[in-house]
Structure 1
Amino acid sequence: MGIGGISVWQLLIILAIVVMLFGTKRLRTLGSDLGSAVKGFRSSMSEDDKADPQEQAATEEEAKDK
């Protein structure tokens, strides 16, 4: 038994159908696009963490006042 009650053979058949429908080139492009999107998201999140501490303090102060 595999993941969630799906056997390995069923997963291989699903993979073969997906490859036949979309082709390896399109799947490769989809994977690289998804990877670049995740990379961009992570970099923007890390930039947000490195934001100006004074700006963060002012924002927190405004939030407390409301």
Structure 2
Amino acid sequence: MGSFSVWHWMIVLAVVLLLFGRGKIPELMGDVAKGIRSFKNGLSDDTAGSAEKKS
């Protein structure tokens, strides 16, 4: 019941590749990166806007 072995991870990787295909995974990672980038931009815009309001 300990940690997963290398064989467990290889089986999980094979199942993920079968479900999503090779082209879909980079597309998903790109979408995640865009979401994180827009979230960071929103936070920086909010911080800059609140700093301007205080001045």
TM bin, normalised by shorter chain, reads: 0.7 to 0.9
User: CA offset at residue 23 of structure 1?
Assistant: 0.4
CA distance in 1, matches of 2:44, 2:52: 17
Unaligned 5+ segments in structure 2 are: none
CA distance in 1, matches of 2:51, 2:19: 50
User: CA offset at residue 11 of structure 1?
Assistant: 1.1
Superposed CA deviations along residues 36-63 of structure 1, whole A, max 9, x for unmatched, are 0011001100111111435358xxxxxx
Matched, 1:18 2:1: no
**Count of aligned positions:** 54
Structure scoring higher RCO (CA < 8 A, sep ≥ 6) equals 1
CA RMSD of aligned residues (A): 2.0
Unaligned 5+ segments in structure 1 are: 58-66
- Segments ≥4 residues shifted beyond 6 Å: none
